[in-house]
Structure 1
């Protein structure tokens, strides 16, 4: 694969990682207490949430817990975001590698043409 395909692949995996992260970040809705009790049938523990506020406000790993035993963020979100972030990084590394390889090949071809049989003045 060429550099543009690797760049496209890393762009797509980055977009997928962002959309997956956004899905997890918005998992609780606007009113977490209402989401827990009405839509998920779980008891909302405000005291537990206030003691663990740092867990629900950090960027990664995502958590939005109703109580000590129930998290509104689906279990597949964090591993998927991590995998897609690694895939994005690998795609960017491969973009750099294939770009460097293509530039070296281009430089070699130009050097071969410059030192070809018709250089030097005798024609």
Structure 2
């Protein structure tokens, strides 16, 4: 495959990673945690877990001990897309080096 195709695949994977991360991060923000957990998510609000704060990697914000406001698919997807991005970027570099070496030099 051409280096450009690997670079495009890496770019798409990186964009997908950023979109999934952005979706997970958007689920963390609320103006009133008690109301968000109790009325909208139908979960018990435990201030002990809610006051523990939020984490940005892995994404996490808890209403109580058993409920996280960030969907469970977000963190594994971010790691998966990061791995695919790294592999595709590495393959692009390897393909570019091989292509560069395969071009014969013209000596006049």
TM-score normalised by L of structure 1: 0.80
How many pairs are equivalent? 107
List alignment gaps of at least 5 residues for structure 2: none
Partner of 2:57: 60
Decide which structure has greater strand share: 2
| Structure 1 residue 7 corresponds to structure 2 residue 4 | no
SS of 1:74's partner is coil
SS of 2:78's partner is helix
Kept in 1: contact 2:28–2:60 (CA 8 A): no
Partner of 2:71: 74
Q: In terms of Rg, which structure is larger?
A: 1
Kept in 2: contact 1:28–1:35 (CA 8 A): no
Kept in 2: contact 1:61–1:78 (CA 8 A): yes
Partner of 2:40: 39
Q: Root-mean-square deviation (CA), in Å?
A: 1.4
> Segments of 4+ in structure 1 off by > 4 A?
none
Decide which structure has greater helix share: 1
Per-residue deviation, 1:73: 0.8
